[in-house]
């Protein structure tokens, strides 16, 4: 099954959740992406203008029926699986990528799990002083579509882009994601309806002093328009594309203008 088919399944899962229908189990790549996002949210500034992931060990528990585990293990435990994706993220963020990541499978979730289909445990064995790292101030202006604001200003390491401000978990038991740039869920605006609830995100890489754009396996795709040329991002790819001030970001049929207002001090 290709990325497009998997993305459609994930969007349908979210739609079922919003409409109150019974949610189907996620695909292995959905869980992999969610774990990578959770790890990224725990990367913090450290001394010397660096970023650090202050944990040495990550345990991932996944609820999968025994008869389905073979396909899950081939995706999550393989050479390009979860550990590889997490290490690539840490390396890209300028962190020590020597973290140990373990995946364990269970027949069903426990009541104390952090997510509906998986559970994360972070273990810290080292202490590192965290400091404020200068981050450029950027603006995202809405060119096409309807969002909660016409212009957004940020000074953060991650900016989520999607439809609606909050995306609930599959069982509607918790908020799975908050969109910083939230396009309208009103079906009157056609451009906004082409934006997936989990569409894309922007990350700041301190080591490069640059912002990168990533597609989060959206249905209608993510593109950068620069100097009259279109650059289409690979759906769900951990590679991303480096942004430049003045770039037009197209999410589905909606569009944003990315501008660096103030460089890091």
| Residue 125 DSSP symbol | -
| Per-residue pLDDT, 22 | 42
Distances (CA, A) of 49 to 4, 44, 159: 38, 11, 20
Provide the pLDDT for residue 98: 83
pTM over 0.75, yes/no:
no
Q: What is the pLDDT of residue 73?
A: 92
Q: Cα(45)–Cα(233) distance, rounded to whole angstroms?
A: 28
Q: Give me the tens of pLDDT residue by residue for the chain, a chain 265 residues long.
A: 443 444 444 444 544 444 444 456 688 888 998 899 889 888 887 766 678 888 889 999 999 999 999 999 998 987 778 999 999 888 888 888 888 899 999 998 888 887 888 899 998 865 555 555 678 999 999 999 999 999 999 988 899 999 999 887 666 666 778 899 999 998 889 999 999 999 999 999 887 889 999 999 999 999 999 999 999 999 988 788 999 999 999 999 999 999 999 876 5
Predicted confidence at residue 172, as pLDDT, reads 64
The position carrying tokens 């509607």 is: 172
Residue 12 CA to residue 24 CA, distance in Å, equals 9
Q: What is the pLDDT of residue 218?
A: 94
The tokens describing 32, both together, are 């992999």
Query: Whole-angstrom Cα distance, residue 228 to residue 161?
Result: 23
Three-state DSSP at 79 gives: coil
pLDDT at 16: 47
- Domains of the chain and CATH, by start: 3-123 (3.30.2320), 137-262 (2.60.200.20)
């Amino acid at each position: 099954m290709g990325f497009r088919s998997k993305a459609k399944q994930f969007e349908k899962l979210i739609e079922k959740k919003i409409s109150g229908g019974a949610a189907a189990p996620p695909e292995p790549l959905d869980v992999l992406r969610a774990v990578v996002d959770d790890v990224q949210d725990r990367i913090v500034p450290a001394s010397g203008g660096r970023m650090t992931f202050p944990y040495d060990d990550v345990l991932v528990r996944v609820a999968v029926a025994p008869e389905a585990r073979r396909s899950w293990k081939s995706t999550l435990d393989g050479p390009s699986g979860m550990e590889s994706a997490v290490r690539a993220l840490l390396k890209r963020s300028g962190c020590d990528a020597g973290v140990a990541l373990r995946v364990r499978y269970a027949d069903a979730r426990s009541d104390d799990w952090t997510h509906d289909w998986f559970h994360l445990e972070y273990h810290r064995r080292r202490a590192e002083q965290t400091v404020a790292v200068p981050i450029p101030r950027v603006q995202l202006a809405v060119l096409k579509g309807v969002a909660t604001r016409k212009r957004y200003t940020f000074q953060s390491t991650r900016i989520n882009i999607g439809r609606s401000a909050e995306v609930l978990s599959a069982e509607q038991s918790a908020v799975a994601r908050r969109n910083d740039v939230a396009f309208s869920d009103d079906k009157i605006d056609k451009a906004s309806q082409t934006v997936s609830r989990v569409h894309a995100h922007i990350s700041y890489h301190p080591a490069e002093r640059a912002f990168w754009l990533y597609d989060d396996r959206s249905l209608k795709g993510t593109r950068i328009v620069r100097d009259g040329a279109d650059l289409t991002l690979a759906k769900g790819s951990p590679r991303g594309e480096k942004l430049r001030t003045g770039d037009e970001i197209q999410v589905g049929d909606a569009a944003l203008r990315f501008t660096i207002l103030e460089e890091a001090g």
